[in-house]
Structure 1
Amino acid sequence: MTITVSSSPASPATPWRQRLASWTPILLIAPSLGASLIYVFGFTLWTLWISLSSSTLLPQYDFAGFKAYVELWSSPRWQIAYGNLLTFSVMYVAAAMAAGLALAIAIDQRIRAESGWRTIFLYPLAVSFVVTGTVWSWLFSPDAGIEFLVHQLGFTDFEFRLTTHRETALYAIIITGIWHSSGFAMALFLAGLRSVDPDIVKAAMIDGASPARIYRKVILPQIAPIFLAVAVVLLQYAIKTFDLAVALTKGGPGISTTFPAMAVYDFMFQRGQIAIGAAGAIMILAALALVLVPYALYSTWHARREGAR
């Protein structure tokens, strides 16, 4: 006698469960998406409108054209701030990338205690710009820093007071920024160096190429996209520089180390010129867009080209 056991098919999911499963991802990202729309795009548009108004101590919603932008670029404080930004961006990005690449190449030689060295070089990145600026302000101080220590050793003619002179205060900020960000550049460069195909390096060594030539002709060209990524991130840091300069020099001596973000704060909250401050904020946003938009377009184009291959 044969007994046949038939299994009934699984009951399909009810329509409301299917709808819930399809809407769950949307419901999860809706709060963050809404906050982004309000706090990023909404307030950006609001700032743009205020910059085109005649607002002073309180926001006004009239239309005054580009008057605030004309007054902004006529201000000596803003001109100095933007000049400082250009100088700081070029020197800070170039030197931080060079220092990070040198550290990455040194660690790539399979040195002893490699993890310990990586930790030491990455440590500044874990410290905020405010703490970094405060500590380095002590080091640059003639009353308690490096100059004071050297004087205690008997070298009374030694001077190391970069932050007290208009001509050198900006370079003190650049040095501090390099110390803070070179570890970040090192980490990305080291990851790129370790991703290069070792067979290519071995082939170059068999051909008799020197280590310097191998890095210059074989390895570094293969990690060229990492150079671009590091430069973009560091440029973002440079454009948004505020807390480092405030903690280190407070914009002085005088206004010699003022940056655009500091000028915006001064216009808005100390002088009561909201429209001019909003115009400065829009100019900072424009500078960021000049860095991020081309990089995003290049990344999209590069990804599509690699996908086509």
Structure 2
Amino acid sequence: MTIRHLRPSWPRVTAWSALLPMALTVLVAYLGAALWSLRVSLSSSRTFPSDDFVGLAQYERLFGNERWLLSLQNLAVYGVLFIAACMVIGFLLAVFIDQKVRGEGVLRTVFLYPYAMSFVATGLVWQWILNPGNGLQQALRNLGFADFTFDWIIDQDKVIYTVVLASVWQASGLVMALMLAGLRGIDDELWKAARIDGIPTWRVYLSIVLPMLGPTVATVFVLLFTGVVKVFDAVVAMTQGGPGTASDVPAKFIMDHLFGRANIALASAGSIVLLAMVLALAAPLMYARSRRRSAAGGHA
């Protein structure tokens, strides 16, 4: 073996050295914090962590708590509507811009700009717009529509839909940008062939383009689902979880019990449940992706 073969591959060493801080962050900050939270959730800790072990008692308390169950129900409603609306609106915006419209750069910026805002700013803006006393309702009444009513933000049965509305307004631009990147990767020959065969445009998008955008759609879905699970800022800025607890979500429940009620064991149990929800989605997707790569490597 020559000395040349014994020399380390410096580009490879440099690359691994650059990844080392991130690897340590994942192991210590993320994995370590998750394991610590799991351990605390199995104890009777209150203000400070304790070393006792109570098994699944905190999880039993958690799912026996009406506020937690309501927050899960709100999260389910929010998640279904938010993801569906963002997918549809984002895809339609991407299709619109993909038509090589004039001012495409300006339109992309306008549609994507809301995503650059924080959820706190978005929530405060929409809180003002939806406020019955000085927002949209009052503005239209001043214009002569005296019977116009839009008081969802103070209606216990409809308040969660106002959070959905604000969140969709903010996140649809991101979906548009990702979908547009996928659309721009489709060969123009496909469209030429579809025109020659006389296939309607809507049919091409539905039966050909969308299946080809499968990886992009999966990525968008994961990003949106992660945003659903951790939704907190918009709810706090718009409604504070109210009226009452009508718009409460799991993240707010956890933060309230962690800092407001000094019950870190119950809060940790809630955080582990949310983590399990994310893993339940991520694990099958990662497995399917690895299978596709293995299959592609086998055919290569």
Same fold flag (TM > 0.5): yes
Letter in 1 for 2:141: H
| 2:147 match | 157
Deviation (angstroms), 1:24: 4.5
| 2:63 match | 73
Q: Deviations over 1:3-53 (max 9, x none)?
A: xxxxxxxxx999x99598875544443333223211111111111000000
Letter in 2 for 1:303: R
CA distance in 1, matches of 2:195, 2:68: 53
Q: Deviations over 1:59-115 (max 9, x none)?
A: 111111100000000001100001111111111101110011111111122211111
Name the SS for the 2:216 alignment partner: helix
CA distance in 1, matches of 2:12, 2:179: 41
Number of aligned residues: 298
CA distance in 1, matches of 2:235, 2:147: 28
CA distance in 1, matches of 2:216, 2:10: 42
Question: Kindly tell me: are residues 234 and 152 of structure 1, through their superposed partners in 2, closer, same or farther at Cα, counting changes over 3 Å?
Answer: same
CA distance in 2, matches of 1:281, 1:241: 13
- The 10-residue stretch of structure 1 (46-55 or 182-191) with the greater mean CA deviation from structure 2: 182-191
| 1:248 match | 238
| 1:306 match | 296
From 212, 224, 228, the counterpart of 2:214: 224
CA contact (8 A) 1:201 1:218 kept: no
CA distance in 1, matches of 2:15, 2:98: 43
Question: Kindly tell me: are residues 113 and 255 of structure 1, through their superposed partners in 2, closer, same or farther at Cα, counting changes over 3 Å?
Answer: same
* Residues 1:197 and 2:187 aligned together: yes
| 1:268 match | 258
CA distance in 2, matches of 1:232, 1:59: 33
Q: Deviations over 1:122-146 (max 9, x none)?
A: 1111111111111111101112211
Structure whose alpha-carbon radius of gyration is higher: 1
From 258, 266, 281, the counterpart of 1:291: 281
Letter in 2 for 1:68: Q
Letter in 2 for 1:183: G
1:1-309 matched pairs, under 5 angstroms: 24-309=14-299
CA distance in 2, matches of 1:26, 1:190: 33
Letter in 2 for 1:146: L
Name the SS for the 2:195 alignment partner: helix
Q: Deviations over 1:222-256 (max 9, x none)?
A: 11222221111100000110111111111000001
CA distance in 2, matches of 1:101, 1:171: 21
RMSD, aligned CA: 2.1
TM-score (structure 2 length as normaliser):
0.93
CA distance in 1, matches of 2:151, 2:242: 13
CA distance in 2, matches of 1:156, 1:64: 59
